[in-house]
Amino acid sequence: MSRPILEVSGLTMRFGGLLAVNNVALTVQPKQVVSMIGPNGAGKTTVFNCLTGFYQPTGGVILLDDEPIHNLPGHKIARKGVVRTFQNVRLFKEMTAVENLLVAQHRHLNTNFLSGLLKTPDFRRSEKAAMEYAAHWLEQVNLTEVANRPAGTLAYGQQRRLEIARCMMTRPRVLMLDEPAAGLNPRETEDLKALIGMLRDKHDVTVLLIEHDMHLVMSISDHIYVINQGTPLADGTPEQIRNNPDVIKAYLGEA
């Protein structure tokens, strides 16, 4: 097996007396889709928040390509290529869809004050390239028709797709999706599945997924981690997880 792109060990997050995440370990291989499942309140989103620097974990090590990232602030982790979406969509609602994508390219644009003021050729070129890249991704997620509409006015499924496209603007290596299928109808969920597959196969993105839609999780994941009450319960391929008695017990209660 190749070297893991993301390696988490002993991750612990404590809020006062509450142990939200207890000794979680993850190993994510490049270009895999890895899912994290577990009952509500199991601490999955807390793990995401720790990985992306929104929380400072109480303990544990997070290695991205063998480089520790657990002490970095959120925006620095994002710059290293770990980008996330949110459980409740967080678009810039007043800005248009295409502007949302332009903002996300901030790091890759010519932000020199003087060249922007004087509209130098270099600045124009950079803006044009950003626009083209945004247009390309709007097409990928099938939102070209609504490119110039304020993001807040889009349908929910479209907002979800736009959020993923916005993440792709930052050229991520690890894309973390927090319940991307929540609130989608079966048809949209199928589209989402195709989109995630495409990201992995064509754009070499590693996807880390939190999801409750078992059909989606089982059909797309290369590896699954189960977390219950902050503690890792099991991990394995979809087939192994489906037949794991502990997992069945956690989900369905004692028989």
Residues of this chain that interact with other proteins (CB under 8 A) are: 52, 54, 73-76, 78-79, 83-84, 86, 90-96, 98-99, 102-107, 109-111, 113, 116-117, 119, 131, 134-135, 138, 144, 147-148, 166-167, 169-170
Smallest separation (angstroms) from other proteins to the CB of 227: 22
Q: How many CB atoms lie within 10 A of CB 128?
A: 10
Smallest separation (angstroms) from other proteins to the CB of 151: 10
Smallest separation (angstroms) from other proteins to the CB of 63: 19
Amino acid identity of residue 235, one-letter, is: D
Whose Cβ is closer to other proteins: residue 170's or residue 228's?
170
Whose Cβ is closer to other proteins: residue 52's or residue 206's?
52
Whose Cβ is closer to other proteins: residue 90's or residue 125's?
90
| 42-76 burial: b if 16+ Cβ within 10 Å, else e | bbbbbbbbbbbbebebeebebbbeeeebbebeeee
Whose Cβ is closer to other proteins: residue 143's or residue 224's?
143
Smallest separation (angstroms) from other proteins to the CB of 124: 11
Smallest separation (angstroms) from other proteins to the CB of 68: 18
Whose Cβ is closer to other proteins: residue 208's or residue 247's?
208
At 9, is the secondary structure helix, strand, or coil? strand
Smallest separation (angstroms) from other proteins to the CB of 81: 9
- Distance between CA atoms of 237 and 222, rounded to whole angstroms? 6
Got the DSSP string for 30-82? TT-EEEEE-STTSSHHHHHHHHTTSS--SEEEEEETTEE-TTS-HHHHHHTTE
Phi, psi of 51 (to 5 degrees): -65, -35
- Distance between CA atoms of 169 and 51, rounded to whole angstroms? 20
At 11, is the secondary structure helix, strand, or coil? strand
Q: What is the CA radius of gyration of the chain?
A: 19
Smallest separation (angstroms) from other proteins to the CB of 238: 28
Whose Cβ is closer to other proteins: residue 101's or residue 226's?
101
How far apart, in Å, are the Cα atoms of 184 and each of 89, 152, 211, 228?
12, 17, 12, 25
Whose Cβ is closer to other proteins: residue 40's or residue 113's?
113
